[in-house]
Amino acid sequence: MRKSRTATLRIVSAILFLLALLVAVPLLISATGRSDLYYTLTSVALLSIISAGVWITFYIGRINIGQGAYALMGGYVSAILVMNYGVSFWLTLPLAGLFCAAASVLIGLPILRLRGVYFAMVTLVLTEVARLLALALPITNGASGIVSIPLPTGISLFGLTLVPGFATVANPRLAFYIVAVLLMALCFLGLYRLAHSRIGQLCQSLQQNEELASSIGVNIAYLRVIAYALSSFLGGVGGAMFASISQSIYPSSFTVADSVNFMLNCFLGGLGYVLGPMLGTFVLYFGWDLLFQTGEFQLLIFSTLLIVLMLVLPNGLLSLALPRKRSL
């Protein structure tokens, strides 16, 4: 009975939170006239999706500092398909994710055998490799990048318009914001279900003790590849959305610093919580902006605060309000 009430409370809380993002936030922005906040909040939503991918690799006990490579890859895949082949943006979203997932399987098969700092260092190199490839390949247009990417077209079914073309709506920023929030909701719902599934429990066993998990018949190589592919899929989808919002993609769109930030988002929010990447992204993004007034001391103050938070709250900010359970 108690579990049923807890589950109901979580569902109601999630619905209220989603309604607040989709209804209350646009109303507040409209009332204040700060339409620029749509882009900011859309960025936070997409960065939290990409960071959620990093959380999955932490779930199997791997430190992933290469998520920026897949975000960059996803952005280029979407931009090339839209610009060169006339593919609908909505179709390029899953295609970009699947391309990154397939690439991660090829990359992950050899490197997922590594652990700890060794795996972290290899993934750190991936982002720089992706940037250099984007500079060298003719199809990516080198340092000039791909620009003037058209806004997403509409979606129609049997003559009925399901989604209007973003170029035809009064406020494309609002449209992007709604799509980003819905994608974020689907992402974290999927993450929550993964954590509660049998595969999620097996993945958690890898984080605890791989040798013990293998000794009882768990296919650890298969689970590692699956988790890494899911992580890269989210990175590709987030990168594709970013390319569409900015209507451009460059080799420098996602750098090593971004990959480090994706990892920090998970640490800051809490590795033991599904919603950790979301909260961590929000705090890290706005925390950096709030310290802008400190000028040359911005980075020093920001770094010091992060170190203090991780020392005082090693389980993340969510540990202040929630018990330490990965299912939350």
pLDDT digits (tens, 9 = 90+) for 43-86: 999 999 999 999 999 988 888 999 999 999 999 999 999 999 99
Structure tokens at 235: 């990175």
Share of the chain above pLDDT 90, in %: 60
Identify whether 81 is part of a domain.
Answer: yes
Residue 6 is inside which H or E element, if any? Answer: helix 2-19
pLDDT band at 177 (very low <50, low <70, confident <90, very high): very high
Average pLDDT, the chain: 89
Residue 236 CB neighbours (<10 A): 34
Rounded to an integer, the average pLDDT of 201-206 is 83
> For the purposes of burial, counting CB atoms within 10 Å of the CB of 3, is it exposed (0-12), middle (13-18) or buried (19 or more)?
exposed
Cα–Cα distances (Å) from 297 to 290, 291, 303, 307, 308, in that order, read 12, 9, 10, 16, 17
Identify whether 58 is part of a domain.
Answer: yes
Identify whether 172 is part of a domain.
Answer: yes
pLDDT for position 327:
46
What CA–CA distance (Å, rounded) separates 71 from 76?
A: 9
Structure tokens at 253: 């769109």
Identify whether 44 is part of a domain.
Answer: yes
Identify whether 187 is part of a domain.
Answer: yes
pLDDT for position 256:
92
pLDDT beyond 80 at 229: yes
pLDDT beyond 70 at 4: no
Number of domains composing the chain = 1
Identify whether 29 is part of a domain.
Answer: no
pLDDT beyond 80 at 321: no
Identify whether 176 is part of a domain.
Answer: yes
Residue type, 304: T
Closest residue by Cα to residue 37 from 289, 284, 327: 289
Mark 171-200 as b/e (b = at least 16 C-beta within 10 Å): ebbbbbbbbbbebbbebbeebbebbeeebb
Structural domain for 312, as ranges: 34-321
Identify whether 220 is part of a domain.
Answer: yes
pTM of the model: 0.93
Of 109-118, 225-234, 307-316, 318-327, where does the model show the most confidence? 225-234
Cα–Cα distances (Å) from 10 to 6, 45, 185, 189, 280, in that order, read 6, 20, 14, 11, 20
